[in-house]
Amino acid sequence: MGNDDFLKVMHELVAFVRVAEAGSFSTAARRQGQTPSAVSRQVARLERAMGVSLLQRSTRQLRLTDAGLEVLERGREMVAAAQATLRVAEGHVGEPRGRVRISAPKAFARHVLHQPLLDFLQRHRQVDVQLLVADRPVDPLREGIDLVVRLTDDPPQGLVARALMPVRQWVVASPGYLAAHEAIQRPEDLMAHSCLSLGEQARDSRWRFSRADEAVEVVADGRYTVNHSEMRLAAVEAGLGVGCVPDFVAHEALAAGRVVRLLPEWAFDTNYQGVAYLLFSASCYTAPKMRALIDHLVAALRPAPVTAAG
């Protein structure tokens, strides 16, 4: 049986199931927007194709034959399966709908991603979002994650990468700490201060700074080392020393005056900064739910344009 013949039989099978469930050609035809004679011809063609009689017709009623009863049972299953398949397809065309799984580092998820995701859920009522916060490399293909936020300057091969925003580490201290200690005007001045670093790797205690054609590296040593940016910021606000934290973590404390950014004219060079990318499989982008969320996050996190002072 060719594809065209198969499609015709499926069309006629649907007509038969509707007639059997309705108990009459006229009722089934009305529900399908057809004439009774057209529906009758469809069922007759199905009977000829199958070589059996499915219905016993009389002027008053229709009765299913034994073969008709068995075909009805199998036909209902096939129609239900086809309807379920169409519902799946609806998630890939038309209005965004369905579930999207997204992974992001914990601090980024809390300080940057959370509010845009809430805004997205308010706007797209048919889309569900599952957020997995994890401070580890997540493989979207192997772990079944649709979107992965990763901080890197070198997105991996084999995945589409959409830039969300640049991320930089800032060196900050509390006003109280700065008032009680020597001034910090150059990176070398940090050697006389208690510096709070990550402590995950040996090189984390070596802070590198650069500007123009000048580069400086200092040993950052202090009383408290913690590989959690929010806890490190809390320690800085408590006056325990000078700390390095991501700009998106320090932004609120800086705006509120709880911390002061140090050495802003110097670039702080570290492995824990770069560009926050959305990573995903190229095939996933065809789903409206994915396109909608990706475009929403890119637009929401796009840096504001810099305007010249008047």
Q: Greater confidence, 99 or 158? A: 99
CB count in 10 Å sphere of residue 229: 25
Separation between Cα atoms, residue 275 and residue 166, nearest integer Å:
4
Buried b (16+ CB within 10 A) or exposed e, 68-85: beebbeebeeebeeeeee
Query: Which residue is associated with the tokens 């006056």?
Result: 239
Separation between Cα atoms, residue 9 and residue 235, nearest integer Å:
73
pLDDT digits (tens, 9 = 90+) for 8-22: 778 888 889 888 888
Taking Cα atoms as reference points, which of 170, 146, 169 lies closest to residue 159? Answer: 146
Q: What is the DSSP string of 207-263?
A: EEEEETTEEEEEE---S---S-HHHHHHHHHTTS-EEEEEHHHHHHHHHTTSSEEE-
Distance from chain centroid for Cα 294 = 7
Taking Cα atoms as reference points, which of 64, 86, 61, 66 lies closest to residue 16? Answer: 64
Taking Cα atoms as reference points, which of 270, 111, 109, 276 lies closest to residue 197? Answer: 270
Tell me the angle at which helices 229-237 and 247-255 cross, rounded to the nearest 10 degrees: 30
pLDDT digits (tens, 9 = 90+) for 224-275: 999 999 999 999 999 999 999 999 999 999 999 999 999 999 999 887 788 9
List, in order, residues 6 or more apart from 234 with CB less than 8 Å away: none
Angle subtended at Cα 245 by Cα 240 and Cα 250, rounded to the nearest 5 degrees: 90
Separation between Cα atoms, residue 253 and residue 308, nearest integer Å:
26
Average pLDDT over residues 199-209: 88
Angle subtended at Cα 202 by Cα 197 and Cα 206, rounded to the nearest 5 degrees: 55
pLDDT digits (tens, 9 = 90+) for 132-145: 999 888 888 778 89
- Specify the pLDDT at position 93: 60
Q: Pull the structure tokens for residue 200.
A: 């995950």
- Specify the pLDDT at position 163: 94
Separation between Cα atoms, residue 181 and residue 174, nearest integer Å:
11
pLDDT digits (tens, 9 = 90+) for 145-194: 999 999 888 888 888 999 999 999 999 999 999 999 999 999 999 999 99
Query: Which residue is associated with the tokens 């402590």?
Result: 199
Separation between Cα atoms, residue 47 and residue 12, nearest integer Å:
9
pTM of the model: 0.64
